[in-house]
Structure 1
Amino acid sequence: MSVQTSLSQHVVVLGASPKPERYSNQAIRLLMDYQHNVTAVNPAFDQINQCPCVRELAAIHQPIDTLCLYRNASQLAKQIDEIIALKPKRVIFNPGTESWELQQALTQSGILWQESCTLVMLRSGHF
C-alpha cells in the first residue's frame, strides 16, 4: 500500500532493526509508504526493508528533516555530539528513548524535539 504525501522529508531512523516486530522496523516501512526519503542507522546492516542503512550518524551528509530515535537514553547520551552535529530540523523521542541530557542539548542548540510516537504521528496525519 502506497500512501501519497505532499511534503516528503529526509527521515533518519537511529536504532533501526531488521526484525519486523520492532517498532523501528515498522516505522521504516510506514515512512516509506508515506514516500519519505528514509535512512536507517545500524552498524551491522547495509539495508533494512530495501532502505539504505548507514553504520553511523557521521556517514549522513544530506540535510535531515526528522531524526527518529529508537535507542535507550544511556546509548543516546554517548551520541549527543554526533546528533547535534547533524543539525536535524526535528528530533522525535519515541517511547522509551527519553533523554533529559539530549533534550537539553537539543534545546541549547535550537533544535526542535518532541516526545511522541512516529507510528501514531504518521497514522494520524501529524507527522
Structure 2
Amino acid sequence: MKKTVVIGASDNPSRFSYRAVHQLKNYGHEVVPVGIRKGEVAGLPISLDKPSVDEVDTVTMYVGPQNQPSWYDYILSLKPKRIIFNPGTENYEFEKKAQEQNIETLHACTLVMLSVGNY
C-alpha cells in the first residue's frame, strides 16, 4: 500500500485537498492528512504537528509557494520518493532542494492522476 502525505489538508469539501484525501483513500492508499487547522477528512484527523511518517511514497502539495518554506525541512525529512506539485503550488526553489536529495518532483494533479490510473 502506497503511503501519501497530503500537505494542506482541509475539512472543507470545496477544497481540492479534501477531494484528494477522499480519492486517495478510495483507491486504497494510506493517507496522512496534514494541515494548519484542526479537523477531520475522510474519517481521518488532520494532523497539525508535522507527524513523523515512515516509508512515504508521495507528498502531494496543496499549499501555495509563498507558504511552503516552513514546510521544507519537514517534507524533506519524510524522504518521500516523489512530491506532486498540484496546480498553483509549483515552487522551483523547493523542487531544486528536493531533486538534490533524489526526490522526484512532478507538476501534476493528484485527482487527475488517480482518475486516469497513473498515480
- Conserved 8 A contact 1:13-1:24: yes
Structure 1 distance, partners of 2:35, 2:54, is 17
User: What does residue range 1-127 of structure 1 map to in structure 2 within 5 Å?
Assistant: 8-45=1-38, 47-57=40-50, 59-127=51-119
Structure 2 distance, partners of 1:118, 1:83, is 17
Structure 2 distance, partners of 1:124, 1:30, is 12
Aligned to 1:19, what secondary structure does the other structure show? coil
Structure number with larger C-alpha Rg: 1
Structure 2 distance, partners of 1:28, 1:61, is 16
**Considering only aligned residues, what root-mean-square deviation do their CA atoms show, in Å?**
1.2
Aligned to 2:113, what secondary structure does the other structure show? helix
Q: State the one-letter code of the partner of 2:95.
A: Q
Cα shift at 1:82:
1.7
Q: State the one-letter code of the partner of 1:28.
A: V
Count of matched residue pairs: 119
Identical-residue share of aligned pairs (%): 34
Normalising by structure 2, we get a TM-score of 0.93
